[in-house]
Amino acid sequence: MRTSSQSFSGWPALLCTLGLFLSLFSLGAAVKEHDFKKCDQSGFCRRNRAYADKAIAQGSSWQAPYKILPTESAFKDGLFHATILKTIDDAGTTVELPLTVAFHKSGTARVTVDEKRRQEKNIELRHNSKARKERYNEAEKWAIVGGTTVDVDAKISYTGDTGIKIQYGPNSAFEAHISYSPYSIEFKRDGSAQLKLNDRGLMNLEHWRPKVEKPPVEEKNEGEENTENTESKEEAAVEPAGDDESTWWDETFGGNTDSKPRGPESIALDITFFGYDHVYGIPEHAGPLSLKETRGGDGAYTEPYRLYNSDVFEYILDSPMTLYGAIPLMQAHRKDSTVAVFWLNAAETWIDIVKTKPSTNPLALVKGPKTNTQTHWISEAGIMDLFVFLGPTPQDVNKAYGELTGTTSMPQEFSIGYHQCRWNYVSDDDVKEVDRKMDRHQIPYDVIWLDIEYTSEKKYFTWDDDMFKDPVSMGQQLDSHGRKLVVIIDPHIKNTGGYPVIDELKSNGLAVKNKEGNDFDGWCWPGSSMWIDCFNPAAPKWWKSLFQYSKFKGTMENTWVWNDMNEPSVFNGPEVTMPKDNLHYGSWEHRDVHNLNGMTFHNATYEALLSRKKGELRRPFVLTRSFYAGSQRISAMWTGDNQASWEHLGAAIPMILNQGVSGYPFSGADVGGFFGNPEAELQTRWYQAGAFYPFFRGHAHIDARRREPYLLAEPYRDIVTAALRLRYSLIPSWYTAFHQAHRDGSPIIRPMYWTHPSSEGGFSVDDQFFVGSTGLLVKPVVEQGKKTADVYIPDDEAYYNYFTYQKVPTTNGKTVTIDAPLETIPILMRGGHIFPRRDIPRRSTQLMKYDDYTLVVVVSKAGTAEGQLYADDGDSFDYQKGEYIHRTFRLEVSKLTSTDADGRETKKIREGAWLKSMHNVAVDKIIVVGAPASWADKKEVQLESDGKHSAVKLEYFKGDANRAPFAIVGRVGARIGADWTITFA
């Protein structure tokens, strides 16, 4: 949510202050790139790029200054300890850098490098700073939840004066070759090199050093310089100038000066992926799924990818510019092989990517090596801490990353329905009227949202007394239709008198501090504001108290929360955020924890929503804009302040796909675009695409025209309504996909490289995807006036049109063109899958809760199919006690079976109220697409369920040029949670 003078109307008439504040942002202004740093404006990035350029220019003569003394290393019980010595001058002076390499039972390896002098706090801080002296080493407290049990069976396969080799992982198939001089680590799988740390010798850890005050340069009178010998001037010009200290001790950008009390402290490391020419991940950026090179050249960026959570409105597309969140996980993929690295650092980070093209010898009989992807990771502060994943599949990488940082939580079921939002619904009557009109036009939705204007003078935990006089009545109307309300709560607290929340924040000492240790005051929507410091363990406890129903009057059990502006956004701060020398709990500088800040805030909100009254324990729903690795455990996210343009519609899909493969699949984009007014065609196509976003929300800026779906003229309204109903019919499949993501970290919508890691033509395809394991292949139309879609086919399986059952003529590794008029979403069904639907139109997910199911069976070329259904009460944590239904459906030529996917004896499950209610929910019908011709004369099939046998009607429809043969079985009537078998023979 950004930029509108309308939102400031309630401020006191302090004209000079108001004028200063309003000058910060102009109405509807696009992002100003000069408000955000480029690499050469970020001192540590510029220094490390220059260091890399120097090393590369010297080629084989470059001597990396980092080495391990063999006598100072040891390996025991899965842990390798050593000291890296960094040579810092010609006299051979060294700095000690403790190294630990941990090998985990999960198959990951962790490499950490610290700085002994800072560890021991044996440094001097400038400016009488109260900051910590150590390098920040607490990111794992927030990001890591498991997967770090040491593999005590890891073993040495070689040791000597040059290095050590350690085998680890499943069947000892992984190996780490640690070289001592210069220091590097090469990781192998099955004897083949996959990636190498410090491959090019670009590692750089800026050690502590005192600032040496240099004498001032003697000023000369005008003309005196002309008396110097020109030859001596030229000699001086080519003499080495030494290290550039201009950004070591302080740094100014946009009128703000960073005091840098610890001096230079950046870390950098190069990582080479051998034979890999595609890398993915490191969100959030508005660019392609397959990451681009960053050192110039044809189609490449000239800037590194940046991770520095920022409030960037109307962001630039096809850019490595930083956005709102940061997940420093990068996957590298080639045919049938995936590896990854996770750079655990919460400070500002830049990543360069270069792909080396091997020179070819025309006389060579054997094909030369494939492309290597060389990456260079640069962070401003903290320890060097990274994890290595050796796959070998994308699924293996995501599963291991999920074990490490957690998987997406099971959502409230309503949250995967449609969300209706704008900045702002102006009153409780406005909300009620939108709710009524959605029903009047039979448009399903689950949630309506309130932006900041619902508050009294932008004070959170309050209601505007004039416009939201009766929030309880508003909530009750929504609840009667099975719907929810989401209200925005941001981390900036208005600094004004007579406001209990700010009084408590101050009196409890829970605000972020400035560099002097006083409460930091900055500007955001309320004007003068302070920020809750959720790194302080006392802050979430206090925050929780504010959400109690008894305290936040007007909220109900159907009220949930949206956390925005939590990068944090500070309108008058450097790069629209908090000064880096601000102080958080534990005296850590903001520079150390910046990318974690948003996560700590929405974590506090998540904890607060678990229980808002005695005896309550429910799954929270929290939406966040800012995030870090681990945020997937506690929130959904969206891609921020996009625009109502075809280009932004197209950009959303690769961004959401990238979130999924980076372990954060509950993601979406503002449908229709936040800024601007989409024409009807664009809005319609966006709803069709949004119906396949894991998080599906329409949203608009305060200055945008109202654009609720019912306001569209025909035929657009009917087309959008059909897209929404399609989403709702597939809710069982979406919920099952969320459960799969929760269990193993898999993406909810899946790119081609992830589902088909052998199909090289799909590795850069980022405009189509499979939905979970349903076999539904979706290619949204994202171009104006387009009436066809070119769909890449990654295998030689059968594919059918979702709506017509037409068998599509496809070729493995080629694209197929299918019709996609405005009223149609290009969706293909892949043979071999079974997916569940609920076909009765309802106005919300809650009202579908006990509807019967339809199963769609799409027969493979081999005559088989398989799929799953997962269901629970969609609200509580009772699923953790076994209160759920999880079925595997399997077609094997003449039999279709339903069995418990977890191998449980369902009759022995202790049933609660929800599971007992599901006894009345059945399979209504089964649609078999691609039904074999041998069924043509059948009129019924045999059902066995709960020990009973019965005949069920079968209707067979012969195929023709426009439709494959299909059959409808039903009414089936078998309990959805029971074992059953249907025999077609």
Residues with active-site annotation = 564, 567, 641
What does the DSSP 8-state code read for residue 752?
H
- Please confirm whether the linkage preceding 812 is cis (ω < 30° from 0): no
Residues 386, 328 contacting (CB under 8 angstroms): no
CB 659 within 8 A of CB 637: yes
Q: Residue 864 region, left (φ>0) first, then alpha (ψ -120 to 50), else beta?
A: beta
* Alpha helices (H) in 161-258, listed in sequence order: 230-238
CA 711 to CA 714: how far, in whole Å? Answer: 9
Helix (H, G, I), strand (E, B) or coil at 339: strand
Q: Produce one character per residue of 884-916: b if its CB has 16 or more CB atoms within 10 Å, e if not.
A: bbbbbbbbeeeebbbbbbeeeebeebeeeebbe
> 182: cis peptide before it, omega within 30°?
yes
- Is residue 267 within 8 A of residue 206, CB to CB? The reply is yes
Tokens coding 589 = 């500088």
Sign of CA dihedral 758, 759, 761, 766: negative
Tell me the Cα Rg of the chain: 30
Quick one: which of 565, 674, 525 has its CA closest to 25? 525
CA 466 to chain CA mean position, Å? 39
Instruction: Answer yes or no: are the C-beta atoms of 265 and 206 closer than 8 Å.
Output: yes
Q: How is residue 579 written in tokens?
A: 């000064």
Tokens standing for 327? 């997940």
Q: CA 330, CA 281: separation in Å to the nearest integer?
A: 5
In DSSP notation, 410-431 reads PPPGGGGSEEE--TT--SHHHH
Report the distance separating Cα 827 and Cα 389, nearest Å. Answer: 34
Burial 928-954 (b: 16+ CB within 10 A, else e): bbbbeeebeebeebebbbeeeeeebeb
Tokens of 83: 């000291």
Q: Distance of alpha carbon 442 from its chain centroid, rounded?
A: 33
d(CA 555, CA 475) in angstroms, rounded, equals 8
* Spatial distance between the Cα atoms of 329 and 857, rounded to a whole number of angstroms: 36
Whole-angstrom CA distances from 475 to 100, 428, 558, 605 are 54, 9, 7, 20
* Joined tokens for residue 479: 């609840």
